[in-house]
Amino acid sequence: MKIIADENIPCVKEAFASLGEVTLLPGRSMQPEQLRDADILLVRSVTAVDQALLEYSSVRFVGSATIGFDHVDRAYLQQQGIGFATAPGCNATSAAEYVVSALLVLAERKDFALAGKTVGIIGCGNVGSRVRKKLAALGMRCVVNDPPLQAQGGHDDFVSLDEVLQADVITVHVPYTREGDYPTHHLFDEVLLRQLPPGALFINTSRGAVTDNRALDALLAERDDLSVVLDVWEGEPAINTSLLQRVDLGTPHIAGYSLDGKLRGTEMIYRSASDWFGHSGCWSAADYLPAGSVVEHSESGVTTMLRAAVFSVYDVRADDARLRAMLDLPPGEQSAYFDRLRKEYPVRREFSATSVLVDDADSECESILRGLGFPVVVSA
């Protein structure tokens, strides 16, 4: 079989070699003529997969190494009998750890304690549920709004959007949709953004167009009491640089970019493709992950030690600094730079790959670290 794959899907050539000949292409510029004799197409969210791309191809299976699928015309694929799979939850842990790092940075920068703060989580699926667990470990009170999940029943702890908007921290983890009962396009429009309470911290790691970027830019020009963390932007890679200058932390759509999450996504679409074509999948992401590490922190105080442990694995400030370097470039070079940051992203592991040595007397710190996902080794 002939396989066309986005060049930025990690280990895709190694994984799919058992299924056929793999050709790597830039995902953002894939053209129909490149797919004419392809059997399998493997993409990320930067590739629009629709009739225009596939009409004259022989593609029989599409795999997207992403948790979302708003870039794919699923109705067309179904109509044509083309198999389709995504990688739901593959980078959920990474995205949740991004939120933890961002909160620890801003708590230090603005001198406030996270414990006791209320966080409103909008969307409690793969990512939101992990965010909830980790922030609860930090002592934060979590309230959740997720109308689609609430409609499925089985939970009774959901709150209204109005109640979420009263929280100290509001973090968004929804899929991007324009249709249906719960569209999320510009969910945070000018009206909703202006309801953010004084001193609120707003985080969006879902999709750029869930927030009206122009409205947010205008709001931040008026209100310096708000804090904002954005990992996703409307119009990527041509983002609103005025908004970038106003947010507290800005990153190039990399919240879910841990090596663990990326390889997990590759393995998930590999296994789906293998099943579709009746092959036994033998490739495992675990074989390509480097060995974990062990760190010992002697810092005094729970908060100081937590920061040291988290930042030793992932410090969001590094990604923020790299993106802000875009502001020094001519406008014509900024989009390519945004894409390059994503393509050349440094290796980042998840908390679970780093064991932390703690003193046996520090039970509070041990409990929090375990709640965040760190393996903990207690020293005698």
Q: In the chain, where does the domain assigned CATH 3.40.50.720 lie?
A: 2-90+257-288, 92-250
Average model confidence (pLDDT) for the chain?
95
The CATH number that domain 2-90+257-288 falls under is: 3.40.50.720
Angle at CA 344, nearest 5°, toward 374 and 306? 20
Q: Does the pLDDT at position 310 exceed 70?
A: yes
- Cα(322)–Cα(270) distance, integer angstroms: 32
Active site residue 366: no
Q: Looking at domain 92-250, which of 3.50.50.60, 3.40.50.720, 3.90.1200.10, 3.30.930.10 is its CATH number?
A: 3.40.50.720
The pLDDT confidence band at residue 380, using thresholds 50, 70 and 90, is low
Given the residues 130, 132, 173, 207, the one annotated as active site:
207
pLDDT digits 0-9 by tens, 86-109: 999 999 999 999 999 999 999 999
- Which of 3.90.1300.10, 3.40.718.10, 3.30.1370.170, 3.90.1150.10 would CATH assign to domain 293-379? 3.30.1370.170
pLDDT at 41: 99
Exposed/middle/buried for residue 265 (C-beta within 10 Å: 0-12, 13-18, 19+): buried
Write down the pLDDT at residue 138: 98
DSSP state of 355: E
| Residue from 87, 106, 80 nearest 43 by CA | 87
Catalytic residue among 97, 234, 236, 267: 236
pLDDT tens-digit series, residues 127-182? 999 999 999 999 999 999 999 999 988 677 899 999 999 999 999 999 999 989 99
User: Residue 358: is its pLDDT beyond 90?
Assistant: no
**pLDDT value at residue 248:** 99
Q: What is the DSSP string of 101-166?
A: HHHHHHHHHHT--STT-EEEEE--SHHHHHHHHHHHHTT-EEEEE-HHHHHT-S---B--HHHHTT
pTM confidence score: 0.91
Catalytic residue among 130, 132, 173, 253: 253
* pLDDT score recorded for residue 296: 85
Q: So what's the pLDDT on residue 379?
A: 80
298 pLDDT exceeds 80?
no
* pLDDT, tens digit, 9 for 90 and up, residues 321-339: 999 999 999 999 999 999 9
Convert the pLDDT of each residue in 41-79 to its tens digit. 999 999 999 999 999 999 999 999 998 898 999 999 999
Whether 14 is catalytic: no
pLDDT of residue 378: 87
The pLDDT assigned to 150 comes to 93
Residue 322 is a catalytic residue: no
Q: How confident is the model at residue 300 (pLDDT cuts 50, 70, 90)?
A: confident
Q: Is the pLDDT of residue 280 over 90?
A: no
| pLDDT beyond 80 at 211 | yes
Residue ranges, comma separated, of all CATH 3.30.1370.170 domains in the chain are 293-379
Which pLDDT tens digit goes with each residue over 222-269?
A: 999 999 999 999 999 999 999 999 999 999 999 999 999 999 999 999
